[in-house]
Amino acid sequence: MNAAPIVQYVGAQAANERSREHILKVLAARLQPEAASTFKPVLDTIENAQRLEALFDAAIEIDSVEEFRQVLKENGN
């Protein structure tokens, strides 16, 4: 049985929210918590799951706030 579209939508939204939270946790651990929180408003606007996954991968690899800011800029924010 397939899930109703609303169930799929809500599930996707929840998954995106978890992705955003994970990105912020990684940024806080790798950088500083206050620096990571500056990205929350931008991350909250991103609805594309693949893009959030790419940003999570970038958050793991970056070494500075400016590097992550550049990744966001390259991806349209």
If you ran DSSP here, which 8-state letter would residue 72 be given? H
Single pTM value for the model:
0.85
pLDDT digit string (tens) for 31-44? 988 888 999 999 99
pLDDT digit string (tens) for 9-64? 777 888 999 999 999 999 999 998 888 899 999 999 999 999 999 999 999 999 99
**Environment class of residue 35 by beta-carbon count within 10 Å: exposed (0-12), middle (13-18) or buried (19+)?**
middle
- CB neighbour list of residue 37: distance below 8 Å, 6 or more residues apart: 24, 28
- What single-letter amino acid sits at 32? Q
